[in-house]
A and B are shown apart, each in its own frame.
Chain A
Amino acid sequence: MKKAIILALALLIATVAVGCRPQKTTLDVTGSDTMVNLGAALAEEFMKTNRNIEIAVSGGGSGAGVAALIDGRTNIAQSSRDLRAEERTKAAARGALHEIVVGWDGLAVAVNPANPVNELTLVQLAQIYRGEIRNWKDLGGNDAPIVILSRDTTSGTFVFFREFVVQERGTKRDAEYHPDTMMMPSTEALFQEISNNVNAIGYIGLGYLRPAVKAIGIKADAASAPVWPTVDTVLNKSYPLARPLFFFVTGELKGALKTYIDFVLSDKGQQVVRSLEFVPIR
């Protein structure tokens, strides 16, 4: 019995030792939930031609990615928002901070397909999220309370939407999401509730739009025509709710890290960005 255990142990050690032999460089990429599918697709395409580099992509939210970068737990932080001043200082303490825009994302405002409301101005949207408009009938819809959904505070989408919509591009600095806002732990959960609930409204990345929900046309102001979120309207900048997607990296760009970033910015990488319904940088 004891001999068998020792034999098994020896075999195990031998296997591990053999498995370790070809030296692989591993890059950790973590952050934005909006970008996690994008990151995975980019990594997969990249690893087809760079077999000696392994890329591990995970989500958790932009904040989580930036926190990991600051703590030195990741090589690349994927973020759907810019860094806050405090984060910028902390990250820069680890070495030169590189801010790389890898694509653009349109934020779609979505409701249930059975909701008769089709378009909203940015101000109306802000009033909904600040709790100043509480009933769909004030927007030409059913006489029913508005159920406001948001992504969790972990999400870059949460911060972007707060500054851009709730605070009206930073002009209403004290404005916050109404306390009745329901924080959804993931894009999937939010999507699920909108497709179940006729009275719900929420925001999701353009790449996550599916026929089970209906995108709202956004009007920059009451006089302008509504624009629906598509790759084209983001690219020609007519859709007002769009934001850049970042890679944040600290220290010198070299080796595997540089090879990967060069790939992401190349035509081939940008094709992947486009294929996931995000908008390429050129």
Chain B
Amino acid sequence: MPYQQRLVTLAGYAVLLITALIFVFLVQQSWPFVREHGSLVFFTGDRWLPVSLPPVFQIGGFLVSSGIITGVAIIIGVPFGVLAAISLAELLPPGVSVIFRSIFEVTAGIPSVVFGFLGLKIVAPAVAGLFNLPTGLTGFSAGLVLSIMILPTLVSLSEEALRAVPREYAEASYALGANRWQTIWRVIVPSARGGIGAAVFLAMGRAIGETMTVLMIAGGRLAMPTSIFDPMRPITALIASEVNNAARNSIQYHALFTAGLILFMITFAVNAIAASVIVGKKAR
């Protein structure tokens, strides 16, 4: 094997090794908490009193918050993203398509703190006014902003999936007398289903992991949310806001690592589903 080839193979293994090491590190740092305080109520309760005596650590409220915010982002973002991808891939003239695509790519490069700031200044007051809420810093506001942030992932991956549909399918459809819209909606989109599904799951992984924006606009209420219009704190925001505070090897420090481990496993599972959708499609 030429050395270049070996080097490239090695790089592949290194990435795998680094991911595995992160997992091992998380487990190792979580263990002191799990051993002493691990119980079901850690997942179901919603009291989080890290500096009280005795401290209480329960992440149920944060898990539900993460679920709500991600759900809102996906429900609002996916229809927009997929329809935009269809228009980019099939409907718009190629010249216009290129311009739109580069605009979406620029969106991907906007730092999340900027989205957070826009959310704080524009989205939150608008949501409060529109729904007549006591505060605009809610899970819904955070999900709304996230739905824009996941668009680049959704659009570019869905568009790729649509473009990967063999031209023969469309030609066969036209030959049978279908018009352009029927061809797109009944032939091309269903054929790209797997790829679009993978895009949705990858976007979901991105939404679950987003930190800065949700820290700024989700509202930071620690209790279990009862509505999508409640202020809430997702698990990423919890970790970001407290990890600096915790003295190394204190129980709060290990509790935060346990929360991080749970988050890692959730995003890993979501991305694994996305990957299996892609692999499954290839195998077919």
Contact partner of B137 (CB less than 8 A), chosen from A87, A153, A193, is: A193
Min CB distance B167 to A, Å, is: 43
Does A253 belong to the interface (CB within 8 Å)? no
Residues of A within 8 A of B206 (CB): none
Q: List 5 A-B contacts (CB under 8 A).
A: A63-B246, A67-B246, A185-B240, A197-B136, A200-B135
Residues of B within 8 A of A144 (CB): 134
Does B128 belong to the interface (CB within 8 Å)? yes
Does B118 belong to the interface (CB within 8 Å)? no
Q: Do B52 and A66 have beta carbons less than 8 Å apart?
A: no
Does A182 belong to the interface (CB within 8 Å)? yes
Q: How far does the alpha carbon of A139 sit from the alpha carbon of B242 in the complex, in Å?
A: 33
| A residues 179-233 touching B (CB-CB < 8 Å) | 179-185, 189, 192-193, 196-197, 199-200
- B-contact 0/1 string along A64-82, CB 8 Å cutoff: 1011001100000000000
Interface of A is mostly: mixed
Interface of B is mostly: loop
Residues of A within 8 A of B241 (CB): 152-154, 183, 185
Residues of chain B at the chain A interface (Cβ within 8 Å)? 46-47, 49-52, 120-121, 124-125, 128, 134-137, 215-216, 219-223, 231, 233, 237, 240-242, 244-248, 250
Q: How far does the alpha carbon of A9 sit from the alpha carbon of B5 in the complex, in Å?
A: 28
Closest to B253 in A: A67
Does A113 belong to the interface (CB within 8 Å)? no
Q: How far does the alpha carbon of A183 sit from the alpha carbon of B245 in the complex, in Å?
A: 14
Q: Do A182 and B244 have beta carbons less than 8 Å apart?
A: no
Among B219, B221, B244, which residue has the most Cβ atoms of chain A within 10 A? B244
Contact partner of B216 (CB less than 8 A), chosen from A147, A179, A189, is: A189
Contact partner of B46 (CB less than 8 A), chosen from A64, A90, A179, A200, is: A179
Q: Do B242 and A152 have beta carbons less than 8 Å apart?
A: yes
Residues of A within 8 A of B47 (CB): 179
Q: How far does the alpha carbon of A199 sit from the alpha carbon of B128 in the complex, in Å?
A: 12
Min CB distance B243 to A, Å, is: 9
Q: Do A63 and B51 have beta carbons less than 8 Å apart?
A: yes
Q: How far does the alpha carbon of A147 sit from the alpha carbon of B230 in the complex, in Å?
A: 11
Residues of A within 8 A of B120 (CB): 189, 192
Q: Do A154 and B136 have beta carbons less than 8 Å apart?
A: no
Q: Do B222 and A196 have beta carbons less than 8 Å apart?
A: no
Does A145 belong to the interface (CB within 8 Å)? yes
| A residues 212-266 touching B (CB-CB < 8 Å) | none
Residues of B within 8 A of A183 (CB): 220-222, 233, 241
Q: How far does the alpha carbon of A144 sit from the alpha carbon of B133 in the complex, in Å?
A: 10
Residues of A within 8 A of B124 (CB): 196
Does A138 belong to the interface (CB within 8 Å)? no
7 extra interface residue pairs, beta carbon distance < 8 Å, beyond A153-B51, A179-B46, A183-B220: A61-B245, A63-B51, A64-B244, A182-B220, A182-B221, A183-B222, A185-B220
Q: How far does the alpha carbon of A158 sit from the alpha carbon of B52 in the complex, in Å?
A: 11
Residues of B within 8 A of A90 (CB): 247
Q: Do A180 and B216 have beta carbons less than 8 Å apart?
A: no
Closest to A174 in B: B52
Closest to B124 in A: A196
Q: How far does the alpha carbon of A196 sit from the alpha carbon of B137 in the complex, in Å?
A: 11
Contact partner of B222 (CB less than 8 A), chosen from A67, A154, A179, A197, is: A179
| With known contacts A70-B247, A87-B247, A176-B52, A182–B137 Cβ distance under 8 A | yes
- When A and B form their complex, what is the total count of cross-chain residue pairs whose Cβ atoms lie within 8 Å? 92
Q: Do B247 and A154 have beta carbons less than 8 Å apart?
A: no
Q: Do A154 and B128 have beta carbons less than 8 Å apart?
A: no
Min CB distance A86 to B, Å, is: 8
Does A159 belong to the interface (CB within 8 Å)? yes
Q: Do A147 and B220 have beta carbons less than 8 Å apart?
A: no
Q: Do A67 and B244 have beta carbons less than 8 Å apart?
A: yes
Q: Do B220 and A184 have beta carbons less than 8 Å apart?
A: yes
Residues of A within 8 A of B51 (CB): 63, 84, 153, 158-159
Among A64, A158, A159, A193, which residue has the most Cβ atoms of chain B within 10 A? A193
Q: Do B221 and A196 have beta carbons less than 8 Å apart?
A: no
Residues of A within 8 A of B231 (CB): 180, 182
Closest to A64 in B: B244
Contact partner of A63 (CB less than 8 A), chosen from B220, B223, B237, B245, is: B245
| A residues 41-97 touching B (CB-CB < 8 Å) | 60-61, 63-64, 66-67, 70-71, 84, 86-87, 90
Min CB distance A214 to B, Å, is: 18
Residues of A within 8 A of B50 (CB): 153
Residues of B within 8 A of A158 (CB): 51
Closest to B224 in A: A179
Q: How far does the alpha carbon of A71 sit from the alpha carbon of B245 in the complex, in Å?
A: 12
Q: How far does the alpha carbon of A134 sit from the alpha carbon of B233 in the complex, in Å?
A: 21
| With known contacts A147-B135, A192-B120, A193-B137, A60–B244 Cβ distance under 8 A | yes
Contact partner of A180 (CB less than 8 A), chosen from B128, B223, B237, B246, is: B223
Q: Do B46 and A199 have beta carbons less than 8 Å apart?
A: no
Residues of B within 8 A of A63 (CB): 51, 244-247
Min CB distance B204 to A, Å, is: 24
Q: How far does the alpha carbon of A236 sit from the alpha carbon of B47 in the complex, in Å?
A: 40
Closest to B215 in A: A185
